[in-house]
Structure 1
C-alpha cells in the first residue's frame, strides 16, 4: 500500500497544495509511510520519512497524556481545583456576558478543576466568535494563536498575565479552544517539579523511543527540519519560519498547546501507546487503561458540541483531542480520536479498528477548517483501512 499512498500524495505536491508531505496509515502490524515533494520550496531537500515537522496542536494529546500520568500517580485528581498549584487561578473573574467589556466581571461560580482544563471547559480559550472583547487579550497579551515559541514569556510571567484576563465563560459551562492546554503544561511542570520538556522526555518520549520529539531541534538535526510556510491565495508560499529559526533553541515558554516538533514515526509511537491502552512497545505501562479511556471519550454535552462548530464537525472532545460522535463525512468513524495542527498536521486513531492516520505538511492552515488535502487523505485512509 506504500506505493498507493505515495501515488496519492505526489499530485498534491506537484500542483502546489504543499511543498511536500509525509503520510502514515497503519492498522495492526501493517504500517505504510510515504513521503512526497520537498521539505523546502526550492526543492533542494526531498521530503523523507524522518523529516522533522512543527506539529502544532498535535502537541495537545501529548500534554493531556502527561497530565493523566500524574493522575495515575495520585498527584492530581480530575475533580481537584487547580488553585493549589496555580494560585494565579485560585479566584478567577468572569465577564458578566461573553460579549461584554473585559472590566465588567463577576466572580467565578466555582473553582477551575483539572477536569475543566482537560475538557477545555475552564473558561479560557477561543470561541467561534474571535471578536469578543475578552478574547482579544489572549492574542495581544499571551501571544495565543499561531505558534511563535520565542515570543512568549516564561511560565510564571505568563500565568501572572493570564490571571489579569477574565474568563469568557463560567468554569464547566462551554468548550473554548487552545488556552487550556498551555495552562496544563504549566500545571504538569509545577506538580512534577520538572520543566515540561524534562517531564515529557522522561515519562513519554524516552520510553516510547520518540527520539526526534521536543520543543527545539538540535543543531545536528536541522538538515532534517522543514521550513514553515504560508500559502498565497494566487499560488506560491511565504516563509514564516526557517529551519534555523524559532525552533532552533528551547523557548522560555514550552507550549503544551502547540510547541512540539516531531516525526511520523515518533507520533505514531505515541498513537500506538493509546491504542494499546497505555503500553509502550516493550510492554512498559505509561498510562492506566482507564486514563486512556478517559482521554478517548467525548465529555461534551450536545449543546457544547453545537457551540464549538467553528472548530469541530460532528465531533466532541476528549482530553487533548476531538472524538467523532456523528458520522457526517466518509472519514468519520464513531470514536475516532485525534486532532489537527495549524502548521499543517493531522493525527488520528480509531480505537475500534486499530487504525492510525497521520499527515504532516509544512503549510499553515488558512483557518479552523481542514484543507482539501487533509480531507482527501482522511477519505483515502478510511477506505484503505477498511480494505485491510
Structure 2
C-alpha cells in the first residue's frame, strides 16, 4: 500500500488511483514489482508493489535497481563540479586529457567508407561530450546499413542492452581507431559522450570515476546505496532484472543479483549506464537538482550550473534523425528537457531521463515536483512502456492546487 507523508499539494484520493493502476501492471505480469516515488514541495509519497523477482521476496522501499541511463545526469553533475573548480572548461580542447581523440578524422558523408574522411574542423570539447555532439554515438538508421555502424559494432560498441566493459584506456583506444561520423558540434548522437566523460573525470582528478562520485556526490547527499556494483551484504536487496522473450512473450532473467554483472566491481565504471540506486537515494540527487544544486546544508553545484545543465542546448538540425529517442524534447547536459506542452506531463522546463533496464526520473521546476519509477523489466524499445506512461499521467493528475 502507499506510504505517504503530508499533502504537499497532492490529492490523497488520486494517489490511491495511482496505486490501483500500477498494481494492475503487476497483476497483468508486465513487471514483477516496482517502487514509485512522487515528491512535491518537500512532501514524499512512495508506493511499493510486487516482488523483487518472479516468485521472489516482496519488493521493499530500499530495493536496489540498475538505473542504466539515469546514470547520465549524475555523470554530468560530476563534470560540472570540475568546471566550477576551473579544472575543466566547457569549450577548451580535451586533447591534453584524451589524446586518443586528438586530430580526429570525420567521414566525408554518413554513408562513406570508414577510410573516406576529412579532417575535423576543430577539437572535441567538454561541451560536446555533455551535449552528445562530439561526433560518435548511436547512428539512427535501423537496420544498420552504413559502414560506420559496422565499424562501431566490430569495435565492441554495437547498440543494445549489453554495455561496453573494456578497461577505460582500452575503451578510449578503440574509439580512437574510428573516424567521427559527424563534425564536432554538428549532430546529437546518443550515449557515447557519457561513457567518455567518466574516463575524462578519472584522468583529471587522478582517482577512479566511482571514487570521485562517492566523495563529491554520493556521500554529501547521503546516497548510501548508489554505486557501480552491489556488495555481498546488500545482494538481498538487489532486484533481479528481466527482459521480455520476443518469441514466447514471457519474462526471462537478464541479470541475476548474485551472479550477474553488478556482483563485483566492473572493469569499466560506465558513466552512461553503470549505476545502481534506490528510490530514496535518487530522490536525494533529484531534490539537489530541483533546489538549484543544494540539499540541506550540502551544496554540490551552484544554481547557475544547474540552470545551464537543464537548459536546451541543441537545435532542431542537431537532433535530426533522433526523434525515436528524444521525441519533441531537447537536450541539456546529460538529460532531456521538455520544450513544448503536448501531453499531460510534458511541462516546458521539465527535465530528466529514463533507464533502459526499466527506470524513469523527471523533475518539474514549475510544479516543484519530482517523480521516480523503478522497475526491473527492461524496456522493449526506446518508446516508454505503458507502466511509465501511466505513472507519469497519474503523478500529474494527482496535483491538487
TM-score, with length taken from structure 1 = 0.96
**Cα contact 1:229–1:239 (8 A) shared by 2:** yes
- Is the deviation greater in 367-376 or in 249-258? 367-376
Q: Which secondary structure state, in structure 2, belongs to the residue aligned with residue 229 of structure 1?
A: strand
Q: Is it true that 1:248 corresponds to 2:263 in the alignment?
A: yes
Rounded to whole Å, the distance in 2 between the matches of 1:148 and 1:309 is 23
Q: Which secondary structure state, in structure 1, belongs to the residue aligned with residue 189 of structure 2?
A: coil
Rounded to whole Å, the distance in 2 between the matches of 1:128 and 1:145 is 10
Rounded to whole Å, the distance in 2 between the matches of 1:49 and 1:101 is 51
Rounded to whole Å, the distance in 2 between the matches of 1:48 and 1:145 is 32
**Cα contact 2:311–2:337 (8 A) shared by 1:** yes
Deviation of 1:80 after TM superposition, in Å, equals: 1.0
Rounded to whole Å, the distance in 2 between the matches of 1:211 and 1:3 is 30
Name the counterpart of 2:318.
Answer: 304
Q: 1:181 aligns with which of 159, 176, 194?
A: 194
Q: Which secondary structure state, in structure 2, belongs to the residue aligned with residue 223 of structure 1?
A: helix
Q: Is it true that 1:103 corresponds to 2:115 in the alignment?
A: yes
Deviation of 1:100 after TM superposition, in Å, equals: 1.6
Q: 2:284 aligns with which of 264, 269, 274?
A: 269
Rounded to whole Å, the distance in 2 between the matches of 1:139 and 1:322 is 26
Rounded to whole Å, the distance in 2 between the matches of 1:280 and 1:142 is 39
| Mapping 1:276-315, distance limit 5 Å | 276-281=291-296, 283-315=297-329
Deviation of 1:119 after TM superposition, in Å, equals: 0.5
Q: 1:64 aligns with which of 72, 76, 88?
A: 76
Q: Which secondary structure state, in structure 2, belongs to the residue aligned with residue 94 of structure 1?
A: strand
Q: Which secondary structure state, in structure 1, belongs to the residue aligned with residue 354 of structure 2?
A: strand
Deviation of 1:148 after TM superposition, in Å, equals: 4.0
Assess, with a 3 A threshold, how the Cα gap between structure 1 residues 138 and 304 changes in structure 2: closer, same or farther: same
Q: Which secondary structure state, in structure 2, belongs to the residue aligned with residue 273 of structure 1?
A: helix
**Cα contact 2:187–2:320 (8 A) shared by 1:** no
Rounded to whole Å, the distance in 2 between the matches of 1:66 and 1:239 is 32
Rounded to whole Å, the distance in 2 between the matches of 1:353 and 1:127 is 35
**Cα contact 1:91–1:107 (8 A) shared by 2:** yes
Q: Which secondary structure state, in structure 2, belongs to the residue aligned with residue 26 of structure 1?
A: strand
Deviation of 1:139 after TM superposition, in Å, equals: 3.5
Deviations 1:181-234 (A, max 9, x none): 000111111111110110000000000000000000010000100111111344
Deviation of 1:138 after TM superposition, in Å, equals: 3.2
Rounded to whole Å, the distance in 1 between the matches of 2:193 and 2:326 is 17
Q: Which secondary structure state, in structure 1, belongs to the residue aligned with residue 318 of structure 2?
A: helix
Q: 2:334 aligns with which of 302, 315, 320?
A: 320
Deviation of 1:146 after TM superposition, in Å, equals: 4.1
Q: 1:191 aligns with which of 179, 204, 208?
A: 204
Rounded to whole Å, the distance in 1 between the matches of 2:160 and 2:46 is 27
Structure 2, unpaired ranges of 5+: 1-11
Rounded to whole Å, the distance in 2 between the matches of 1:101 and 1:306 is 22
RMSD: 1.5
**Cα contact 2:73–2:335 (8 A) shared by 1:** yes
| Mapping 1:105-124, distance limit 5 Å | 105-124=117-136
Q: 1:49 aligns with which of 49, 57, 61?
A: 61
Q: Is it true that 1:81 corresponds to 2:80 in the alignment?
A: no
Rounded to whole Å, the distance in 2 between the matches of 1:144 and 1:253 is 16
Q: Which secondary structure state, in structure 1, belongs to the residue aligned with residue 325 of structure 2?
A: coil
- Is the deviation greater in 138-147 or in 201-210? 138-147
- Is the deviation greater in 348-357 or in 128-137? 128-137
Aligned length: 384
Q: Is it true that 1:167 corresponds to 2:170 in the alignment?
A: no
Q: Which secondary structure state, in structure 1, belongs to the residue aligned with residue 387 of structure 2?
A: helix
